[in-house]
């Protein structure tokens, strides 16, 4: 059984790490990449929320973010490691990471790799006491879409709300497709978390 002092150190350290990384990613987008709309990337916002959840020992809000990001980030990681080991395109999502991005942006993008495992670990440390987090997740994806759509332009396609980020998903009736994919992602992400018994024991 992990000692409470060690657990607190881990939770506080990871909480600060997530908050710092989230703000660093926003800072990079705003100042180094010179596109202010980059601060609306959901992964950046989510990291900060997860960090706050860790500091306040709130597994519920961490689970909300994790259920949304679980499936999209798995897809990103599959594409990333496939390209890394084969130098060939699979989904066509991470080509920019290898071909276009500068060093700082690549460091920022590495959050796609550790975000889900560390979030699950945080939930495991705090323990999950409620299973209805998916309700807030669904509300949140609606907010993500409309806020991003209103405050960002199609040029950078933040959170993929203006057009598909996936070559295998077309743009026909795209808002409907976006919400359908978002609903499916939350559903699958929630089911995955609920099957992880170590998050509750």
Measured CA to CA, the distance from residue 134 to residue 67 in angstroms comes to 7
The stretches in the chain having pLDDT less than 70 are 1, 167-171
* Burial of residue 22 (number of CB atoms within 10 Å: 0-12, 13-18, 19+): buried
For residue 45 the two structure tokens come to: 């916002």
Contact 70, 116 (CB under 8 A): yes
pTM here is 0.94
**pLDDT at 156 (0 to 100):** 87
Angle at alpha carbon of residue 81, lines to 42 and 140, rounded to 5°:
15
**pLDDT at 167 (0 to 100):** 65
For residue 41 the two structure tokens come to: 């990337």
**pLDDT at 137 (0 to 100):** 98
**pLDDT at 170 (0 to 100):** 66
Measured CA to CA, the distance from residue 98 to residue 19 in angstroms comes to 26
Measured CA to CA, the distance from residue 62 to residue 80 in angstroms comes to 24
């Amino acid at each position: 059984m992990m000692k409470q002092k060690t657990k607190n150190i881990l939770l506080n350290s990871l909480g600060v790490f997530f908050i710092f990384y989230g703000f660093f990613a926003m800072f990079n987008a705003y100042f180094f990449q010179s596109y202010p709309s980059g601060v609306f990337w959901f992964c950046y916002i989510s990291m900060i929320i997860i960090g706050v959840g860790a500091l306040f020992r709130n597994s519920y809000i961490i689970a909300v973010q994790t259920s949304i990001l679980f499936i999209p980030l798995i897809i990103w990681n599959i594409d990333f490691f496939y390209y890394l080991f084969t130098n060939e395109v699979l989904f066509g999502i991470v080509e920019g990471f290898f071909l276009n991005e500068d060093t700082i942006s690549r460091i920022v993008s590495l959050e796609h790799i550790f975000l889900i495992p560390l979030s699950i670990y945080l939930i495991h440390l705090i323990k999950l006491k409620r299973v209805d987090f998916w309700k807030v997740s669904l509300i949140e994806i609606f907010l993500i879409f409309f806020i991003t759509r209103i405050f960002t332009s199609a040029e950078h396609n933040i959170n993929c709300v203006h057009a598909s980020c996936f070559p295998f998903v077309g743009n026909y009736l795209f808002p409907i497709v976006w919400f359908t994919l978002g609903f499916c992602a939350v559903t699958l992400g929630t089911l995955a978390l609920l099957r992880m018994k170590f998050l509750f024991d």
